[in-house]
Structure 1
Amino acid sequence: MIDVVNLQRKITIDVAAIRSYTQLLAEEVSEANGRRFSVAFISDGRMKQLNAMFRSKATTTDVLSFPHEPDEFDPDKDNLGDIVISVEQAQKQAAENGLTLEGEIKQLILHGLLHLCGYDHETDDGEMNELELVLRVQLAIQ
């Protein structure tokens, strides 16, 4: 099950379309297929708070991924975790990257999901970036 929630009010987004895309994406990423995760859309102010709290950075960012860590109190191994996206940052980056807002959001969900699946572009010698590019073409992200 994939949860998609819009917790911001500044920018209108099509949650139903994003939910459909996210389901399709989960089917394409083998590590995510059949597993649960959530995507939350938040304000830039809230993203800045989360970035400070979890990464000790006093600035906003576009996307954060919070992998679920199963333990004795919550042994659920089918839960990948949570992705949070600043819609304001997505809108800004869409203009900079020549994408639609929906296209930028799709790219950010893809990026966040790959992180939840264990990929790390900072340490994997380009494996995550390569997979991201392949999936962008397969899913026609624009």
Structure 2
Amino acid sequence: KQHWRESEGFPAEVLVADRPDSHYVGPIAIGRPPQNFLVVYDLSSANLWVPGSSCPACDCVRQHRRFDGTLSESYRTSEVGVQLAAGPGRCAGYLSRDTVHLGNATLFDTIFVEAQAASKHLSQSDVDGVLGLGLPQAA
């Protein structure tokens, strides 16, 4: 179960950039203290994923910010493996839980995927991950 807490106002206000390739991108942060990421706001999926700190031998290690659970006091991992389709790409990783900050709103104990591998399309992108805002059926 996920719970929202109002930080400075609700609904959350987030600055997004409209890209010419039809993507909306913007910031999120995960953990306590927060680790910042630039993500695609995706209406066709319902999953949040970012590269994990131990992403072995994938391009995302060199190009993207990576989430490090050891730096967060609110982090929990389930070590349950998952694979996701993300547009034309795919990623694989583990389900984890932590605090997610979206603009001025905070979502506690949020499930997300720590990617351990990503397809070339995703690993060469200039964004770190994906925040799925679609209906739960899209997860």
Give the TM-score, by structure 1 length: 0.29
Of structures 1 and 2, the one scoring higher in RCO (CA 8 A, sep 6+) is 2
Greater share of helix:
1
Give the TM-score, by structure 2 length: 0.29
Greater share of strand:
2
Rg (Cα) greater in structure? 1
